[in-house]
Amino acid sequence: MGTIKQNFANNVETGGTFDAQDLTGTIPAANIANSSLSDITTVPPTATGGDLIQSVASDPPAPDFGDIWYNSTEQKIKLKTLGTGSWATGGNLNTGRRAMGGAGIQTAALGFGGWEFLPSPPYSLFHTLTESYDGTSWTEITDINNARGFAGSGGTQTSALLFGGYNGSDLGNTESWNGSAWTEVNDLNTSRRALGGGGTTTSALAFGGSAAPKQQTETWNGTSWTEVNDLNTGRQGLAGFGIATSAIAATGEIPPRTNAAESWNGTSWTTVSNTNRTGDGAGAVGTNNTAGLIFGGFDGGPADARTNITESWNGTSWTEEADLSGIGYHYQAGAGNATAAISFGGEGPANQMRTGTEEWTVATPNQSIQGS
């Protein structure tokens, strides 16, 4: 703790906390470290003349996560924090299927392609269907050019990318969406299915996949794919999210199934903390290697049991969150980010094709910073 002027000496309590009940004058911010303050009635300016913390009579109507302010009416310093997340039921897809591509945000998403089990020959149907979600319901729009499931994807509702996949053979085909039509563009260098990926139509990342579990990573520059540094552990059915310069690859099947996770910094992959559960075929959303969500998929058991477990990533560790409702599904698609996302489609037990959508929301309450 820095030097405190003599006229404040009586305000220093046992353990180094600071009592501001009869505070007069000011203490430069640089002179206080790790302090605990109570009963603040005014917030002094900093030495440079700007407000140390914004003083307002009532809480801001729509603060951003991480914002701090002083509520002069309540006489409290307050912080916008992350609360508890939960899943809620959304609108149903028009056609249930698994292993779709997904793009967009919770209230403006796309789901495209996918695989559907049929009860009679040919048993497998690979789809070209594209559906658009407005936060309430799904609407069928322009089909992709090449039917497939198990592809990588990224982007927004009006600008999306689809790459790789499977339609009886592993594919390298890439398609770009401009909001009204899909256009075939340059293929991946390595054809594969059940891969991870993310990004935009001008900058994307593809990694892992199968047939034999692959380590290859490729970046997209809006025109072509370039091979870059491999994953440390090749795997298929992995949960992947992020952008071309910042991504996470988690779980998957080597075989066996794994809980391993790796972080991409734009140049190379680094092993990070394992997920709490082992499995593959999970849905995944996230904006970079510091924040994301994985959900559903197979668990690590030998009977291909589905799970409804949800885990969040904060850049350092994985935390189990509220479960998806009902039975578990694998190869769900997702769109959004760690605080506002959707899960849709997937396959349940007995080849049940899921039409359902669930919406993930994390509350961001205003918390008081308590003194001691």
Domain hosting residue 237, numbered range: 85-362
Mean pLDDT of 263-267: 98
- For residue 114, being part of any structural domain is answered with yes
- For residue 151, being part of any structural domain is answered with yes
Mean pLDDT of the chain: 88
Query: What's the half-sphere exposure (Cβ side, CA atoms, 13 Å) at 204?
Result: 31
**What pLDDT is attached to residue 78?**
72
Mean pLDDT of 316-339: 94
Tell me if residue 29 falls in helix, strand or coil.
Answer: helix
The structural domain count of the chain equals 1
**What pLDDT is attached to residue 81?**
61
Q: What is the CATH number of the domain that holds 138?
A: 2.120.10.80
Residue 323: what residue type? D
| Residue 165: both structure tokens together | 């996949």
What's the DSSP call for residue 121?
T
Pick from 74-78, 152-156, 169-173, 356-360: least confident: 74-78
Per residue in 247-264, pLDDT tens? 999 999 999 999 999 999
**What pLDDT is attached to residue 50?**
45
Do the Cβ atoms of 114 and 97 come closer than 8 Å?
A: yes
| Spatial distance between the Cα atoms of 344 and 49, rounded to a whole number of angstroms | 51
Dihedral of CA atoms 339, 68, 243, 323 in degrees, nearest 10, equals -20
Per residue in 188-224, pLDDT tens? 999 999 999 999 999 999 999 999 999 999 999 999 9
**What pLDDT is attached to residue 48?**
39
DSSP states along 233-287:
S--BS-EEEEETTEEEEE--BSSSBB--EEEE-SS-EEEEPPPSS-BB--EEEEE
Q: Which residue has the tokens 């009902």?
A: 326
- For residue 268, being part of any structural domain is answered with yes
- For residue 265, being part of any structural domain is answered with yes
**What pLDDT is attached to residue 42?**
54
- For residue 206, being part of any structural domain is answered with yes
Mean pLDDT of 147-159: 98
**What pLDDT is attached to residue 60?**
84
- For residue 139, being part of any structural domain is answered with yes
- For residue 17, being part of any structural domain is answered with no
- For residue 61, being part of any structural domain is answered with no
